[in-house]
Structure 1
Amino acid sequence: MTLFHTVKFNQFRVIVFILFTCFSYFVSHAQVDQTAVNDFIRNVAYQQKKPLKDVESIVNQAAFQSDIIDKMNRPAEKTMTWERYRNIFMKPERIDAGIDFWTKNEMVLNEISVQTGVSLEAIIGIIGVETYFGERMGNYLVLDALYTLAFGYPRRSSFFKAELSKFLELCAKEGLDPLAIKGSYAGAMGYGQFMPSSYLAYAKSYDSDTGADLMNEVNDGIASVANYLKVHRWDQGGLIAIQANQSENAEALSKQSVKPSKTISYYTQKGYKLMESIDPNTLASLQTMEMEDGSKEYWFTFKNFYVITRYNHSPLYALAVFQLGKAIKEARKVKQ
């Protein structure tokens, strides 16, 4: 190829690259209503008393990610049986990682548990389920995730617009770079996977009266998870869940609210019995968990189980947190 043809070919490649970039930008932004985006920008600038151009410069750099919509439409908690969901988290390697995390952070964990009254197992269980003890905090830019869901997911558009607004507020307050923070496809961040509104409301610094860095400071992550559960009325020393037996003539029950409202004795009369002995007047709920072969597990769940569902509303999630934390505690005792 002559020099002339080489130059022409390289010019052609540059033109193709520019056209592809422009096309990608157009496709990305064509999937959202730009008028709605502009309205959002104006509202945020007004509400947060920021220059319009500053908000524009951030929001207009967000990219629409279509795979996020796909994932939102297929959450694991709604597409899996309890058995499959449980097996994601109850693996020997995750339990071993939990033991290591507990050992490395034992002093802080003990201190925060005593201060808040929240059990060590609950704190460990949440961080283990959410981020594999900080190893998997998410690969999506939080800005992209919230932008995509705010303007491309009509079913929960209002919620994610509010979260995007809170994210911009959070970044300004804590001096965070909104173009660099990564998290989940739903826009959750840090060790405990807090949404921006939860970050602003419940994040707690371990050693300071102000500010919290949930992405980099493990102590802040631990303190914030415990604080979230405490604020949502964790019952110190209270029960979380106990497995139940179903008798042959047990009465079929409709889906039970996760918030305890009936006594153990009520469920006992329906044919469901505890596998441990506790006061029959204790308030509980009965949760039914589907197994792969079509059979069912039955679990009595209590106030602290309900508190965990304030973190994530799925009963599968709360039971996984409970079982993972308990398994790590028991395995750690064996190794000591």
Structure 2
Amino acid sequence: MQKTILSLILLLFTLTAFSQIDQAAVEKFATDFANEEAQFTKEEVMDVLNQAEYRSDIIEKITRPAEGTMTWERYRKIFMKQGRIDAGIDFYKEHKATLEKVSADTGVPAEIILGIIGVETYFGQIKGSYKVIDALYTLGFGYPKRGKFFKSELGKFLTLSKLENLKATEVLGSYAGAMGYSQFMPSSYIAYAKSFEENGTRDLMDSPEDAIASVANYLKVHRWKKDEPITSRAELTREITGLRKQSTRPKNKVSDYTAIGFKPAEKLQADLPATMLIFDKDGNTEHWFGLYNFYVITRYNHSPLYAMAVYQLAQEIKKGI
């Protein structure tokens, strides 16, 4: 009797999951993609998609992303732990030559490259446990709010699988479909991934050297400004009230904020483009000057919490190398 009940529950779960996906939409995607990409047939595309699994837990996760639900205080504590800092120092020592060469070539500081890889995957220790095909299939066809974007990424992933000789049904990544040390989405992988070795393959899954080169290339393409500062803690020289949330893209200048009572902890050029970042920590409000390179980090992940975590982790690692 118990076996029968269990079988019925499993059958119901399978039918419910299957019903979340419009199979006609899947067929249309396969047809359209094969028509656009001559290297694929519809049968090839459907063979991959028929092996994908709808994951309801992925839908749950994407509706509650950490950056959207956490305070800076809680978010910071995830990444500013001694174990992660020590892992970054060890990673630097192991890949020092690569980091220094890439930094010299691109102008992106080694510690910022380390900060991103450290926040993204704990220096390759946590790359994600979801099948990328499951993530993109689920979100492309089961999450209408961003279905267009994820179907596009699904198509890029299929293209990428041929470009880089990846087994599309086996690659693991995040619940959103990001992959490798650097957690690139398929479109970013195609656009920004680089091989550290000249004329080599772009292996972000298993090559830390390629990941280092690719993270730096991403920031360089998004106009990283060599030798310019990133952020500075702002001290208040007088009481300031009513300051509204600012855009992460600098639209003012440092001098605009110093004129109303914000003093940078480090000396900054008055004419540098700037915004004012506001974070809640330990029950208090922190203010930081957000400069153009801080904005560039948010091109990797749009959350200012993310960019600040990258910056502060980078600074802690830098102290130890």
| Coarse TM-score class (shorter-chain normalised) | over 0.9
Alpha-carbon offset, residue 41 of structure 1: 1.0
Please tell me whether the aligned partners of residues 251 and 270 of structure 1 are also in contact (alpha carbons under 8 angstroms).
no
Distance 1:119 1:221 in 2: 15
* 1:130-279 correspondence to structure 2 within 5 Å: 130-209=120-199, 211-279=201-269
Please report how far the alpha carbon of residue 172 of structure 1 lies from its aligned counterpart in structure 2 after TM superposition.
Answer: 1.3
- State, as a whole percentage, how many aligned pairs show the same letter: 50
2:54 aligned residue (57, 60, 64): 64
Larger radius of gyration: 1
Partner secondary structure for residue 317 of structure 1 = helix
Aligned residue in 1 for 2:313: 324
Do the aligned partners of residues 16 and 84 (structure 1) sit closer, same or farther apart at CA in structure 2, a change above 3 Å counting?
closer
User: What are structure 2's unaligned runs of at least 5 residues?
Assistant: none
Q: CA deviation at 1:61?
A: 1.0
Q: TM-score, normalised by structure 2?
A: 0.95
Q: Distance in 2 between matches of 1:23 and 1:89?
A: 40
Q: Residues 198 and 71 (structure 1 numbering): CA distance in 2 closer, same or farther, change over 3 Å? A: same
Query: Matches of 1:272 and 1:53 in 2, distance apart?
Result: 62
Aligned-pair CA distance for 1:209? 2.3
SS at match of 1:297: strand
Following the alignment from structure 1 to structure 2, what is the Cα–Cα distance between the partners of residues 281 and 57?
A: 57
State the secondary structure of the residue aligned to 1:189.
coil
- 1:96 paired residue number: 86
Residue 170 and residue 253 in structure 1: after superposition, are their counterparts in 2 closer, same or farther (change >3 A)?
same
* Inter-partner Cα distance in structure 2 for 1:61 and 1:278: 55
> SS in structure 1 opposite 2:263?
strand
**What are the within-5 Å matches in structure 2 for residues 25-44 of structure 1?**
25-44=14-33
CA distance in 2, matches of 1:36, 1:249: 57
Query: Separation in 2 of the partners of 1:321 and 1:90?
Result: 10
Corresponding residue SS for 1:77: helix
CA offsets per residue over residues 3-48 of structure 1, 9 Å max, x none?
xxxxxx9xx97x9998776555433221111111111111111111
Which deviates more from structure 2 when the two are superposed, residues 39-48 or residues 127-136? 39-48
The alpha carbon displacement at 1:227 in A equals 0.6
* Contact 1:84-1:292 at 8 Å conserved across structures: no
Pair 1:22–1:251, CA change in 2 (3 A): closer
Match of 2:303 among 311, 314, 318: 314
Aligned residues: 320
Match of 2:116 among 114, 126, 140: 126
Cα root mean square deviation, aligned: 1.8
Higher mean C-alpha deviation, range 32-41 or range 137-146: 32-41
Q: Per-residue deviation at 1:242?
A: 0.3
Which secondary structure state, in structure 2, belongs to the residue aligned with residue 130 of structure 1? helix
Q: How many Å separate the matches in 2 of 1:68 and 1:126?
A: 23
> For residues 251 and 241 of structure 1, what CA distance do their matches in structure 2 show?
22
Aligned to 1:107: 97
> How far apart are residue 252 of structure 1 and its match?
2.4
Between the aligned partners of 1:169 and 1:128, the Cα distance in structure 2 is: 28
Q: TM-score, normalised by structure 1?
A: 0.91
Question: Partner residue of 2:293?
Answer: 304
The 1-side partners of 2:56 and 2:282 are apart by 31
Q: Are 1:251 and 1:271, in contact at CA under 8 Å, matched by a contact in 2?
A: no
Give the Cα separation in 2 of the matches to 1:282 and 1:86. Answer: 27
Task: Look up the SS of the partner of 2:29 in the other structure.
Answer: helix
Classify 1:173/1:24 alpha carbon distance in 2 versus 1 (closer, same or farther; 3 Å): farther
Residue 34 of structure 2 corresponds to which residue in structure 1? 45
Q: Deviations over 1:279-331 (max 9, x none)?
A: 222211110011242x2100001111111000000011001000001100102
Report the secondary structure of 2:86's partner residue: helix
